[in-house]
Structure 1
């Protein structure tokens, strides 16, 4: 008797179509949207919402996907007023509209964004975090919107409240609640319980919490009792509407496969050799048993130069611990990607989790090492690696969270760019973090920022002199008494 009443009471959560489920979304509404790259994107709900011809939407999401898919459809139709995101990435439409003054961008560190959504759904109005302290995130003056044409800012971000707690500086971040949330799950029941697959979990559970009205689409819709309660990621209490998705394309943004051939370092001639030297040297920082996060670009190639018997645990901030190599042809899974949107596998003993849990383990100091790329590094260990104002907007992604954590931060960087210095007295680009670099590895040498006395050249590139390194470096540096050649063998 009770089960029949319960089933009848919640039958209204099931909608016949995506169109019906999103019909009351209105112009000017705010939407929290799950997904990371193209993975875990609620594509049917987004398509249906885009067809409503809405205007002035605010999107809260990690990124806006790629051309012709997901949220980029709304961007292309000029339906979006503001995006709250951590990464613009390779989305040319997103970047162009922002730089031309057609779109507002509230750029937010990835871990902070995840926590804003989770905390909003948990009834916590604000929280303190070390992420972004001393950068434009806390200091303000970031151009949220340019005047039409992109020549000068029209809206600048405000300075945020900061506080020193137990000797460490923190930033106060307001949490996020949105009018609606659009999420995608692998399986769901008619009550609204949701199960995600692989790294498609990412921001979806957090978006589900943040939305005042959460609309879920699933690949498989089942009856209550058919899901193992222990496997449910989002309980039905967070979900107000659910549909079975009409169709799924699930495009892979970066198909990366293991063909049995050696992984090729990008570039040609001297450039390729230089990058390979940097990567090989960076691989020496890893030790068996370490929990490690590798940034996109050169750092992702580091595992290819590790001894075969070395066991490390690679974390990808979109929700994987124990990431394995690229899949063999035909074994790729669009629901399993890394932070660089590449197809990957999982090693035995791997774990999957959402983006909030991912950054909790980062901020909590549970990783031993992170390796990141850079645009600039200062003599004090300041790092800039996420934006060139007015020209390039990639977004900080999870970098600010990583460098503000207790994890040792190793930076890999080409020493110069078109003969311009990159190791400077002071960074001229917006910072990712202040005094966060522990070790810098370039093709010319290895610099230790934690030695007494300050930045110290501890290893030098093969065939180079100290004077050559000084000529390619703006700032002065100490030279270790036991200076040795870079170890890349």
Structure 2
């Protein structure tokens, strides 16, 4: 008799827990439509509004916020945080959005105390607050950030990576907080390192958040999530690394409408779901073939544009048939237009696309399909989409044959600086540190030969914070092409109508001249 009473009490408690778990966010009653499915007590709670879904987030919380630029960002949830007025937040996100959108909403209202990010991007207000000591910033290489989040979700406390070796990430000194007079108040500390197979690796700690705010294309009533194209980015790993994951979705469907083999994030990682009140689809740089054509037809090329085209045409000569390549923002992306028609190259974009195509027609612009420069793009047949942690597994694992980056400075021994001018210009390193540290990946730097004031960019030693040590294999400028190897810096090609003396006077480093010096190739 006693055992029967115990079993009855346990059964009653079980039913009560189910009822509390499936409560309605607006009425406090269970959603009866879910009971008939046999969903367990761990199923997520579904909310009617974004504010209801996030209203219990307290000040001082650590938030993991999905998205890349403005793509895949949970704008409705962020707007809800603005309404609740929660403050003193620590935010982990790839970038800071823009002045008006994405995380820019919380920056504008000064609700963020500290952010861990890889790229500030085009948020001028964020940059201003950082340089004036009003917000703290911990810059983290994009691939390291993705892996720290992935490790947090997998229960791995720390890991070793070669990304950032020899830079401020390794040695410390990166400004976290400035004083109001522009001096550094707080800076990063040196990281522990260790040798593996004669290479140096840094110890990086995992990231776990109190709450994750993510954006998905679709959820079913079990809580499984599906993402659209490059809007996947940082969202999946962040779902797994938080104590409570809150998913903003565009569409909510019944259980069974998402085939099991099409689920991107299983329901076990999702605690709350809300269908966004507004369908927000912003693109930072909305470009199309029509826009590009109009610009070409109406604007005469400036001297700088002409120089960049010379560099892009020469860069295109480096692509080989069947190659996997990653292109940084700026000049590197211009090279795509000059790839020979008989060459097939799979371009990888670190925000989650392998098989990047050209700019789309205006009618085909899709806010869920952007490149690492936050511009609308297309994809080619045979392409694939994936999350940011998967993207950097490709990069760190040495599966990318070639990476092409822009540069601020390159030293004669192959050091690269391209992410910060301390106290003046801050964008963040993005994925560049990961790309240049990848084994078996050839690194090409494309840049104008000199600064606007005429000072050289190729130097004996870099004076700006490094992106990587001894990592550059080839430099392409509008004047010349230099090879870097164990013999040092060697001039191998000269642009048409450029003589050797001009290159010497424009270069701030010692270099050798190849015995078979050639005219610069052009695609």
**TM-score greater than 0.5 by the shorter chain:** yes
Name the CA distance, whole Å, in 2 between partners of 1:405 and 1:60: 24
| Correspondence list, 1:88-99, <5 A | 88-99=120-131
Secondary structure of 1:188's aligned partner: strand
Q: TM-score, length-normalised on structure 1?
A: 0.97
Is residue 2:455 matched to residue 1:423?
no
Cα offset for 1:464? 2.0
2:285 counterpart residue number? 254
Q: TM-score, length-normalised on structure 2?
A: 0.90
Is residue 2:239 matched to residue 1:208?
yes
Cα offset for 1:6? 2.7
1:487 counterpart residue number? 521
Cα offset for 1:264? 4.9
1:438 counterpart residue number? 473
Of residues 92-101 and 63-72 in structure 1, the stretch that sits farther from structure 2 once superposed is 63-72
1:339 counterpart residue number? 372
Name the CA distance, whole Å, in 1 between partners of 2:371 and 2:249: 22
> Residue 225 of structure 2 contacts residue 265 of structure 2 at CA under 8 Å; is this kept in 1?
yes
CA RMSD of aligned residues (A): 1.7
After superposing on structure 2, the runs of 4+ consecutive aligned residues of structure 1 that deviate more than 6 Å are: none
Is residue 2:503 matched to residue 1:472?
no
> Residue 32 of structure 1 contacts residue 180 of structure 1 at CA under 8 Å; is this kept in 2?
yes
1:77 counterpart residue number? 109
Name the CA distance, whole Å, in 1 between partners of 2:121 and 2:206: 24
1:174 counterpart residue number? 205
- Which of 185, 189, 195 in structure 2 is aligned with 1:164? 195
1:123 counterpart residue number? 155
> Residue 371 of structure 1 contacts residue 410 of structure 1 at CA under 8 Å; is this kept in 2?
yes
Secondary structure of 1:51's aligned partner: helix
Structure 1 residues 246 and 475: CA distance shift in structure 2, 3 A: same
1:335-359 superposed Cα distances (whole Å, 9 cap, x missing partner): 1100000001110010000000000
1:263-314 superposed Cα distances (whole Å, 9 cap, x missing partner): 8599943222211111111110001100010000010011101112211101
> Residue 65 of structure 2 contacts residue 212 of structure 2 at CA under 8 Å; is this kept in 1?
yes
Cα offset for 1:57? 0.2
> Residue 263 of structure 1 contacts residue 304 of structure 1 at CA under 8 Å; is this kept in 2?
no
1:197 counterpart residue number? 228
Secondary structure of 2:90's aligned partner: strand
2:432 counterpart residue number? 399
Secondary structure of 2:395's aligned partner: helix
Name the CA distance, whole Å, in 1 between partners of 2:296 and 2:436: 28
1:323 counterpart residue number? 356
1:293 counterpart residue number? 326
- Which of 214, 235, 248 in structure 2 is aligned with 1:183? 214
Secondary structure of 1:449's aligned partner: strand
Cα offset for 1:5? 6.6
Is residue 2:356 matched to residue 1:356?
no
Secondary structure of 1:436's aligned partner: coil
Structure 1 residues 379 and 12: CA distance shift in structure 2, 3 A: closer
Bigger helix share? 2
Name the CA distance, whole Å, in 2 between partners of 1:267 and 1:42: 41
Cα offset for 1:246? 0.9
Name the CA distance, whole Å, in 1 between partners of 2:248 and 2:294: 40
How many residues align structurally?
A: 486
1:394-439 superposed Cα distances (whole Å, 9 cap, x missing partner): 1110000000002100000111112111100000000000000000
Name the CA distance, whole Å, in 2 between partners of 1:204 and 1:195: 10
1:52 counterpart residue number? 84
Q: Unaligned stretches of 5+ in structure 1?
A: none
Secondary structure of 1:400's aligned partner: helix
1:237 counterpart residue number? 268
Cα offset for 1:261? 3.5
1:6-51 superposed Cα distances (whole Å, 9 cap, x missing partner): 3373565112211111011011100000000110011111111121
> Residue 44 of structure 2 contacts residue 223 of structure 2 at CA under 8 Å; is this kept in 1?
no
Is residue 2:448 matched to residue 1:414?
yes
